[in-house]
Amino acid sequence: MTCRWGLVRLERMIIEAGDNTFTLSLHPRLTVVAGLGSVGREALIGELLGALGSSRSGVHLELVEDEGRRLAVFRPEGARPRVVDIDASSDVSAEFTDADGRLDVLARHGLDLRSARRTIRLDQQDLLATAHSDDMIRRLAELDQTELWSTAARVRVTDDELQTLAQEVGSVPEDAEIIERIEDRHQAVEVALDQHRRLRRRATRVCAAALALAVPTTLFDPKMALMILGIGMITILLAFLYRARVDQAAAAERSALNDAGAQSYLGFVVQRVDGLLSNSEQRRRLLAVAEDHRAAARCWTAVAGDVSVDWALEHHEEVVAAAKLRSDMASLGTMSSTAPEMDNDSMTDLAHALITRLAHLRTLGTTGESFPLILDEPFGEVEPTMKPGLLELLSRSAGSPQVLVLTDDEDVASWARLEALTGVLAIVEPQPEAEQHPARAVHAPESASLTA
């Protein structure tokens, strides 16, 4: 039997993290999750999309389809994932199992993680790119096309390699950056401590020698004795300076550990990365691939500026056609001057881009299924005078499809707090300590668990 399954609404996301269970309940129209930095937002999006795909265990979802059927997607650690019809108490996993035997909700609708992230997620860069796509196409068309597309290919290849290797070692790509940052900070602490110990030993010897020389020297040359004592004092001050460097390096390490939800470097090694750090070869491979990907991304930024690789590849044909037209016009000596820059008064363009993406998601699936829109800090750099109008438009348009806003923008959070009083949306503001673990950053006040 063919079933038309349309994901129209997410009801809850439940994350199991060791002995803890965190729940994020979602409003049927619009949910604003405030107080999340870039690491937390990226991790939460990864958890949600990974649970819809096939790569995230320990994350469960409750969904409602277009025709009203309520489903629960279970992905228990170390057990077979499954999909359950909640009302009928029946296992419907077969509807979402691909040819390789993997339970993949996205694949059921003709999507993969990359296309879902590109389509379901909308950040400020994507919003501006959509609003000014013609201008961006012109900008890319002016670049060396061989360099542009070879650089884009390198970013895509290294990203695919990173995703594949991360799955092999039971990690996620975000872990590589966190691990490397913590390792760098820990190494800085070790270096600072070593320098401080060596200077302290030398300072002790210098001070002892200075004191031994200063006492007899005072009998025949008091000024010389003061100079000798001054050398000893300078050495002591240097020791204090190096101690301050140790404290500064330790504070930076603690900050990185807090981002990973660890209290100490040893705790991070034992709890956060488990088998990954126990296998040094896998760890080295993951970090090396992550560095290759970052290097490729830096090259892309140097070539194309703030245009994303995914957007450029999606508009490859348009860019190539524009480049050819530009070349033809240049050969005739009739090419116009530089493309116009974006107008600050572009609220209409941004609003149109937002509505266009919402309309696209209403029929995203292969047979017209709808999917939610995840807005990742979409208005962070938008002029403050433009935000109220865009937020009101979002409020009126949300619900078809459902919208989830992830933000660290106080303007958006303040607006959401007031609107939540009317019931048209919900706002979730994690406790400060929740931000210490980016991949488990959002939770509701109560704990919850799913049962079949």
Look at residue 436 in the predicted model and tell me its pLDDT: 44
CB 390 within 8 A of CB 350: yes
pLDDT given for residue 175 in this prediction: 54
Q: Which residue has the higher pLDDT, 408 or 433?
A: 408
Tokens of 142: 């002016």
Sorted by sequence, the CB contacts under 8 Å of residue 327 that are 6+ apart come out as none
Whether 63 contacts 111, CB under 8 Å: no
pLDDT in tens, 259-311: 655 666 655 555 544 544 445 666 677 778 888 888 998 999 999 988 889 88
Percent of the chain, pLDDT > 90?
20
- Decide which of 405 and 132 is more confident: 405
The span from the CA of 309 to the CA of 160, in Å, is 13
Q: How far apart are CA 448 and CA 54, in angstroms?
A: 23
State the pLDDT at residue 344.
Answer: 40
Under 8 Å between Cβ of 123 and 133: no
Domain layout of the chain by residue ranges: 173-272
Q: With 60 as the cut, is the pLDDT of residue 442 above it? A: no
The answer to which of 68-82, 164-178, 179-193 has the lowest mean pLDDT is: 164-178
Tell me the pTM. Answer: 0.59
When mean pLDDT is compared across 97-106, 234-243, 266-275, 407-416, the lowest value belongs to 266-275
Question: Residue 255: is its pLDDT beyond 80?
Answer: no
pLDDT in tens, 379-391: 888 888 888 888 9
CA dist 362 and 9 (Å) reads 11
| Average pLDDT score over residue span 118-140 | 80
**334 versus 124: which is more confidently predicted?**
124
**Model pLDDT for residues 78-88, shown as the tens digit of each residue:** 888 899 999 99
Q: For residues 270 and 139, is the Cβ–Cβ distance under 8 A? A: no
More confident residue, 212 or 314: 314
